[in-house]
């Protein structure tokens, strides 16, 4: 039987920055939150995420007695400046589909356990951050994220990975408290543009920009378009403003070469005009929360981001996308973006589009013309 230290050593050999252990008892606090805030989390069942089931490790691995938590720093390298403003950093080197990075290291860790008689599961619906807290690996932020107490300069740029096992090991001392300093003045709560953070450690995920970029229903409402800013997929706003993250944000980091190599594929104009083969081959393997049937959402988000840059260089592509698209959600966001950018060329295009246009698109053109002034 492996010793706990041998497992810890193997995790470090596999380049995990930290590792902790907790017991496999049910996550009762998570159950209470899911029950009390049912309305906020009802969407997860529709999306195939049975979070309630994930609160019981025995449902995941019968005979489970311990949970190892591997800590990955997903922001150990910087990302191209052409990508960071538009995408959540945790998605810029996501290999859950390509299986060419973190996934291979998790597999190697589990193989090591299996070869030594320990069965394991890495469940997607278990509360991984709570597991890390129970293992004593850090504290929580008011933004509901987990902050390491040992790596990444004690920041939240970490990904806890819970590995449920059927062998018993010595658990760490739980640290389930909020670790934010009193002087932070609720920076993350105030900075959340869409009001998703209702209070310390209380989020309405349906208002979160990350959620809205890949799960929001239909055409993004007007009152959310400017607040969602430049984000096309994911959001880091509450992390970027957090005082606890500033030390790591100031670090001189090497550029992530995997992200740099695919940066051109995520050029805004290419995203706005992409066809299904382009999406399936170049985009979906890296950011997969939206299916090929939801390319319209990618294009709608991209058009909104273009509008919020206020850069007139995007007018040409927005006009082209309006003319080529048959989806009224995309067309509507293109004209909104033109109105947001404004200027002679944008207004001229809107004036040309209006005659003969009906329904929601006509309403959006009229609104865009008002924005132009």
Judge whether residue 39 has pLDDT over 90.
no
- 272 inside domain: yes
Q: Specify the residue for token string 């209470």.
A: 32
72 — phi, psi (to 5°)? -110, 130
CA angle 4, 7, 12 (to 5 degrees): 125
In the chain, the percentage of residues whose pLDDT exceeds 70 is: 100
Average pLDDT of the segment spanning 179-186: 96
Indicate if 170 and 58 belong to the same structural domain.
yes
SS3 content of the chain, % helix, strand, coil (to 5): 50, 10, 40
304 — phi, psi (to 5°)? -60, -45
Which 3 state secondary structure label does DSSP give 193? coil
Indicate if 145 and 48 belong to the same structural domain.
yes
The CATH number covering residue 286 comes to 1.25.10.10
Q: Which helix (H) or strand (E) is 139 found in, with range?
A: strand 138-140
CA 121/CA 88 separation, integer angstroms: 27
Per-residue confidence (pLDDT) for residue 373, from 0 to 100: 78
- 126 inside domain: yes
Whose CA is closest to 124, among 74, 54, 56?
54
Task: Mean pLDDT check: name the lowest of 36-40, 69-73, 169-173.
Answer: 36-40
- 160 inside domain: yes
Average pLDDT of the segment spanning 282-309: 97
Judge whether residue 340 has pLDDT over 90.
yes
Which 3 state secondary structure label does DSSP give 188? helix
Indicate if 11 and 111 belong to the same structural domain.
yes
- 56 inside domain: yes
- 222 inside domain: no
Judge whether residue 271 has pLDDT over 90.
yes
Judge whether residue 114 has pLDDT over 90.
yes
What pTM does this model have? 0.95
CB 65 within 8 A of CB 165: yes
Indicate if 176 and 271 belong to the same structural domain.
no
Judge whether residue 40 has pLDDT over 90.
no
- Domain interval for residue 15: 4-77+92-180
Indicate if 47 and 144 belong to the same structural domain.
yes
Indicate if 136 and 33 belong to the same structural domain.
yes
Per-residue confidence (pLDDT) for residue 46, from 0 to 100: 79
Indicate if 151 and 276 belong to the same structural domain.
no
Q: Distance of CA 50 to CAs 20, 31, 72, 197, 252, Å? A: 25, 12, 24, 23, 40
Judge whether residue 42 has pLDDT over 90.
no
Rounded mean pLDDT of the chain? 96
Average pLDDT of the segment spanning 184-204: 96
Q: Which of 180, 208, 230 is the last residue of a domain?
A: 180
Number of domains within the chain:
2
**The pair of three-digit structure tokens given for residue 110, joined into one six-digit string:** 């589990």
- 112 inside domain: yes
In the chain, the percentage of residues whose pLDDT exceeds 90 is: 95
Indicate if 284 and 148 belong to the same structural domain.
no
Indicate if 166 and 299 belong to the same structural domain.
no
Q: Specify the residue for token string 């193989």.
A: 111
Measured N-to-C along each axis, helices 295-309 and 315-324 cross at an angle, to the nearest 10 degrees, of: 150
- 291 inside domain: yes
- 102 inside domain: yes
Q: Which residues pair with 313 in a beta bridge?
A: none
Q: Which of 180, 202, 222 is the last residue of a domain?
A: 180
Q: Which of 180, 204, 227 is the last residue of a domain?
A: 180
Per-residue confidence (pLDDT) for residue 49, from 0 to 100: 82
Task: Mean pLDDT check: name the lowest of 3-17, 33-47, 113-127, 209-223.
Answer: 33-47
Average pLDDT of the segment spanning 218-241: 98
């Amino acid at each position: 039987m492996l010793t706990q230290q041998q497992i810890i050593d193997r995790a470090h050999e596999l380049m995990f920055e930290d590792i902790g252990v907790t017991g496999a008892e049910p996550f009762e606090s998570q159950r209470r939150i899911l029950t009390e805030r049912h309305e906020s989390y009802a969407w997860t069942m529709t999306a195939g995420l049975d979070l309630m089931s994930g609160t019981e490790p025995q449902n995941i691995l019968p005979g489970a007695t311990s949970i190892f938590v591997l800590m990955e720093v997903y922001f150990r390298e910087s990302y191209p400046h052409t990508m960071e403003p538009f995408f959540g950093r945790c998605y810029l080197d996501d290999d859950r589909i390509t299986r060419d990075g973190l996934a291979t290291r998790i597999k190697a860790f589990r193989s090591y356990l299996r070869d030594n008689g320990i069965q394991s599961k890495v469940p997607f619906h278990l509360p991984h951050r709570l597991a890390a807290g129970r293992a004593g690996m850090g504290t929580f932020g008011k933004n509901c994220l987990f902050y390491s107490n040992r790596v990444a300069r004690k920041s939240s740029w970490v990904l806890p990975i819970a590995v449920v096992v059927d062998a018993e090991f010595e658990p760490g001392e739980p640290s389930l408290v909020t670790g934010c300093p009193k002087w932070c003045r609720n920076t993350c709560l105030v900075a959340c543009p869409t009001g998703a953070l209702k209070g310390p450690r209380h989020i309405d995920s349906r208002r979160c920009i990350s959620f809205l970029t890949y799960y929001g229903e239909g055409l993004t409402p007007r009152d959310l378009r400017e607040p969602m800013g430049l984000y096309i997929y994911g959001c880091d706003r509450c992390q970027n403003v957090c005082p606890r993250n500033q030390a790591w944000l100031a670090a001189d980091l090497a550029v992530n070469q995997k992200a740099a190599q695919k940066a051109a594929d995520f050029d805004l104009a290419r995203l706005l005009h992409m066809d299904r083969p382009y999406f399936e081959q170049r985009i979906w393997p890296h950011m997969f929360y939206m299916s090929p049937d939801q390319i319209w959402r990618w294009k709608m988000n991209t058009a909104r981001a273009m509008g919020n840059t206020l850069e007139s260089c995007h007018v040409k592509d927005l006009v082209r996308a309006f003319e080529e698209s048959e989806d009224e959600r995309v067309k509507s966001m293109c004209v909104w973006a033109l109105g947001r950018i404004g200027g002679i060329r944008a207004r001229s295009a809107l004036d040309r589009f209006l005659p003969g246009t009906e329904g929601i698109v006509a309403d959006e053109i009229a609104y865009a013309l008002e924005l132009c002034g």
